[in-house]
Structure 1
Amino acid sequence: MFIKKGILIFIPSLVFLVSCNNNDQIIKNEENISVSSTQEDLYQIKQPVKFNVSRGLILNNIDNSLDINNIEMELMQLSTKYFPVDKYTFQEGQYLDKTIINQWLERKGNDAPSGLNPPKNETGDVLKDEQDNPKILSHVLEQNFLNKNGKIKGISLAISLNEFYNIQVADKKGLIHTDEVKVDVNNDDVNDVEKYGKEITNKIIKDIRNNKDIPDVPIFLTLYQETHENNIIPGMFLAETFIPKGQNQISKWTNIDKRYYAFPSNSLSELDRISSNNLTNFKEDIQKYFKNLNPKVFGRLLYKTDQLTNLKIDVSTPTITDVELIALLQFISTRINSLSSDYTPITVSIIDEKQTVGIVTWDPTKKEIYTHAIQ
């Protein structure tokens, strides 16, 4: 058995952990690995680990790293509804390789009959052609779920869609033209990104069912809308559907009402003024008592049906000494419960030159505060 080690130090009113890494808790034995980055249910990953057959492609197709992390972890969590963790083990996608995905990402045309992105009108103005016909389908993420004997019993898919289309195109002279356009520019109540995603997914399901190399198993399919490449919060899942074994059509969609909000932002103030004010007070206290650190405070709040379900805060400083770090950790531990209700998981990360050096967490299950200083 292998467990990442740390030094546990008890300080009044909190638990203080100095560790080599603050990331996932990993427990390993001869057959399975459990990966935990939250307090939620975990999938076992059967050994030996098999990497996604399209490994690396997601880095090329999705611009914001927050989107990459969110789409991978949240798809796994959403899948628990159909593939319970006590009955299935997790495996990265083994069937949709780079060739299949890249064919879907092409613009539909005579030379790309499998393409699922909109065709474009050739006017001779290469930049305008791209601006008028933005690509919407960005990536397809696959995850597999196996029974305890290692046989595949389910597939989950996240159809990742552009909210913004980044253009880089060359003209006949070889000059490179760049631009960025928003996909949904209509002032109506219809999300054109979601609408297009729903239009192309039946083709994806039919292609999968017609592929003899892909087992005929139930498919859980979701639509994901990416955020802007420079945004500090990830995009969001829009809708989900379930296709039983033997079926090749989607019968109905269910909305996924989960969304991230940034602090500070007007949209957060309009949705949840109490949380926004609490965070403002928290930020002002840190900037008042640790003025010499020149701290900046940003937050990412996850809401489900307009209820706060997760709160993550970054406290960034250009530089911090060990003594200052301990003082800041202790200070945050005395303020963390004022940020939200006792039922909301909270993580406050202290970042020094883009590296996380300390974390304070509130565990609503155990009703405890944990503080980690990272060496």
Structure 2
Amino acid sequence: MRGRWAFVPALALFSVVLCAVAARAQGEGGRHGPGFGERALQAFIDGVQFGVIIAITAVGLSLIFGTIHLINFAHGEFVTIGATFAFFLNVSAAGPGWHLIPAALAAVAFGALVGWAVDRGVWRPLRARGTGLINMFIVTIGLSLLLRHVVLVLYGNRPASFAQYDIQQAIELGPVGITPRDLTVTLLSVLVLFALAVLLQRTRIGTAVRAVAANRDLAEASGIDVRRVVSIVWMAGGGLAALGGIFFGLVEIITWDMGFKLLLLMFAGIILGGLGSAYGAMVGSLVIGVVAQMSTLWFPVDLQYAWALLVLIVVLLLRPQGILGRRERVG
């Protein structure tokens, strides 16, 4: 276990070094704009914020893969559905005009309902018929296209933003700045991830989820209601994806294909952290977010996702099972 978390002191040391560099560069760059150290620290803070949002959306996808070994290509649409449903309740002229907080809570509940309905109406019948994983993966692609274009018809193709917390003055924290909205989103994301970790480790349902992910047949033989666990995982995945979509819409903007754009980064975080591991999805997503943002210090913003995926390739060449994944014997 100690080896798995060896990255934590390294990440902390990296943060301290950045702070020291930024403090030294603050005086040097004060007259000529931000120095490299300040920009590096700001990019690191932005990367942590981006990474925890990716982690919230990716954890549900990882749990789904861990329990039923399905690569859900439609998971990105759950992200979009959460953001657009909250937008409908908060901003849309046809909606009730709720404040963003109750609108977000309702959207998370709606995302969980969508996850449960998709499992109950699509995946459970397919599993009962013994449909192969490759065929089910193809079905997820078709479901992704269907949901994405339903959102396009209902929401439209114009980018939009929520009514509250749109334009804010940044809080200066030494050499870096962050708006109260972004700081709140980051802290809430960390709290949600921490609560999810406690849920998985300290509760009966969390133990059941981990048991099903480890060995479905043995879990069922032990008396665990596997179908109920899978339904709960789908609901959790849909709710977390919706919450991540709301957070991403707050810090960026709401579009009809925002979830699809995040999907590749979700997969990258899951694979980098270790397939089927919720904690691996958190760590991998954080690494992807930090690398994507810090790459903008040297390269164009349009290439930030490409460099994040390059890091994924390099890590997998050195450690094929991912950061927190386990080695498996083949043959």
Superposed pair shares fold, TM > 0.5: no
User: TM-score band, normalised by the shorter chain?
Assistant: under 0.3
Considering fraction of residues, name the structure with more strand: 1
- Structure 1 or 2, whichever has the larger Rg, is 1
Higher helix share: 2
TM-score normalised to structure 1 length: 0.23
